[in-house]
Amino acid sequence: MRTYRWAILGCGDIANQLAQAMGKAGRTLYGVANRTNQKAVEFAEKYGVLKVYQTIPELFTDEAVDIIYIATPHNTHSEYLKAALRQGKHILCEKSITLNATELTQAQRLAQESGVTLAEAMTIYHMPLYKKLQERIQRGDLGRLCMIQMNFGSLKAYDSNSRFFNLSLAGGALLDIGVYALSFIRWFLSEAPDKIISQVKFAPSGVDEQAGILLMNAAGEMATVALTLRAKQPKRGMVVFERGYLEIYEYPRASRAVVTYTDGRPQEIIESGNTEDALWYEICDMEQAVSGAGNEMHLDYTADVMSMMTQIRQAWKLYYPEET
């Protein structure tokens, strides 16, 4: 497989993690663009990035670039996705990939027209553990899937200007951390849920700071989600089958699951992959998909999750400025 030239848009926390993941594998990013150009210059020096773009549009039109990794706040994704897809770039976009299902459908249409790969950087879909668990579940001895329970609590000091609480930056618990819980759920459910109810508590800035969500699909598989931006909770997922349950901690980048059987068999530990290599697994899967080697980026699951989040926010009447 050929080596692809990656460029990154954004120089914040996750962009640094991606550059480090590439560096660990002996690779470097080809290009970088950022709203504040000086930070792009410093980022390029730090990670040996070859090219710094003076403006963001220059990144989209550079013919040397194959894959763009978008690492800016949620509300900026749709505009950048469209601009890059129109230039025929493959895109790996940070979560949440768009604000709502309509924006994602538009981006999917453009990707199809340009014949390129569009994907969300959802670590869960690329950690080796989850692929191994699917194989384990297929053996059938756990029985039918009954329920999934998810927690995610992140203690953030309230700051109406931060991307976590700012409505204008599409903040809130659902798009920031709920997207992980719902992606985990979608990975295990046999089909997307068609029934969703929820409760929400709003922060003074108007974003969702705490929520409880209850989902069910046509097969009768159910899931519950407890989210908060104002308290710590374990990042814990529990997948309950007729004859046992899986428990996974730190599930966005998990490498270990415990299987407890309820029919007397001894507990089983399933391990695969390394938490610290989470972004590298995404990079590898993306390059395989771009090369046509057929590795699945699960944009269909991303679309199901975006549809769930759109319905949930509609019920809350929580709209971002771009949507009003």
Ligand X SMILES: NC(=O)c1ccc[n+]([C@@H]2O[C@H](COP(=O)([O-])OP(=O)(O)OC[C@H]3O[C@@H](n4cnc5c(N)ncnc54)[C@H](OP(=O)(O)O)[C@@H]3O)[C@@H](O)[C@H]2O)c1
Which parts of this chain interact with ligand X (CB under 6 A)? 10-15, 34-36, 39, 71-74, 76, 94-95, 163, 176
Cα 72 from Cα 84, distance rounded (Å): 14
Two structure tokens written together for 4: 């692809």
Nearest approach in angstroms of CB 43 to ligand X is 8
Give the residues across from 257 on adjacent strands.
Answer: 270
Nearest approach in angstroms of CB 163 to ligand X is 5
Choose between 12 and 23: whose C-beta lies nearer to ligand X: 12
Phi, then psi, of 96 in degrees rounded to 5: -75, 135
Nearest approach in angstroms of CB 275 to ligand X is 13
Reduced to 3 states, what is the DSSP secondary structure of residue 317? Answer: coil
Nearest approach in angstroms of CB 159 to ligand X is 12
Cα 265 from Cα 269, distance rounded (Å): 13
Cα 205 from Cα 169, distance rounded (Å): 11
The number of residues making up the chain comes to 324
Cα 277 from Cα 17, distance rounded (Å): 10
Nearest approach in angstroms of CB 110 to ligand X is 19
Choose between 56 and 239: whose C-beta lies nearer to ligand X: 56
Choose between 145 and 248: whose C-beta lies nearer to ligand X: 248
C-beta separation of 39 from 55 below 8 A: no
Nearest approach in angstroms of CB 234 to ligand X is 17
Give the residues across from 91 on adjacent strands.
Answer: 68, 118
Choose between 175 and 290: whose C-beta lies nearer to ligand X: 175
Q: Which residues contact 244 (CB under 8 A, 6 or more apart)?
A: 142, 143, 259, 260, 261, 262, 263, 265
Q: Identify the burial level of 13 via C-beta atoms within 10 angstroms of its C-beta, where 0-12 means exposed, 13-18 middle and 19 or more buried.
A: exposed
Choose between 32 and 116: whose C-beta lies nearer to ligand X: 32
Nearest approach in angstroms of CB 92 to ligand X is 11
Cα 125 from Cα 246, distance rounded (Å): 17
Choose between 126 and 246: whose C-beta lies nearer to ligand X: 126
Choose between 185 and 246: whose C-beta lies nearer to ligand X: 185
Minimal CB distance to ligand X: which residue?
12
